[in-house]
Amino acid sequence: DCVEHCGPQAASTYAPQLLQGVVESLNDPESDAELIQAAVYGLAQISRNAPNALSARLGQDLLMKIYNLCSNTPKSEADDSALFENAVSCMGSLALFKGAPLFDSIPDKGTLAKSFLAGLPLEEDFDEAKVCHDGLCDMVDMGLVDIKAEYNDLLRIIGDILSFVTEGDEVASESTCARLLGIIDQIQQTV
């Protein structure tokens, strides 16, 4: 909580301790799903709030573990949807979003981006969903998601997000919804 909610000074102070627990939990084959979920969530918070606590080498090792959590099982078949969604969010926060600590050290983000898209939309944790759905818009703006190649997935994801919002689920902010509608306009003009 200190890394997530108490500001930059607290984040940089407590992130190394949290990171040690994250590494231990993700490397321990005896860790249960609840502990792994907490570790993955903690890693996402470190990525966003204390990215300097994460070395490139350790970050890439952890990213591979996170990628495996996201890519080994389709979202619809995941035993623990909260863990799966936390892993998708963590992957974006580690490597795909603006300011991600590993963004510059991974030249080809195509495989990660496809896995990220396959995990969307998020709906379990509204705060994580908002971060990821806004991050999706940034990825489209930066050209990490090719509208021509991924328009079917984008239409599915955007349709689901807007449907959830219409039903009262706060999975995207008003500004993100406007950006998503802009992506639909881009798809109509491009495809």
Coil, strand or helix at 32: coil
Predicted local distance difference test score (pLDDT) of residue 124: 93
Residue 17: the pLDDT is: 87
Q: Collect the ranges in the chain with pLDDT lower than 50.
A: none
Amino acid, res. 121? P
pLDDT for the residue numbered 174: 98
Of the candidates 98, 101, 91, the residue with the CA atom closest to the CA atom of residue 41? 91
What whole-number distance in Å separates Cα of residue 31 and Cα of residue 36? 6
Q: What is the reported pLDDT for 119?
A: 95
So what's the pLDDT on residue 93?
97
Q: What pLDDT score does 114 carry?
A: 95
Q: Helix, strand, or coil here: 99?
A: coil
pTM of the model: 0.93
What pLDDT was estimated at residue 94? 97
- Per DSSP, helices labelled H in 108-146 are 110-118, 126-142
Taking the C-alpha atoms of residue 105 and residue 98, their distance in angstroms, rounded to an integer, is 13
- Can you tell me the distance from the alpha carbon of 115 to that of 117, in angstroms, rounded to the nearest whole number? 5
The contacts of residue 168 (CB under 8 Å, 6+ apart) are none
- Amino acid identity at 141: D
What was the pLDDT predicted at 1?
64
pLDDT for the residue 79: 81
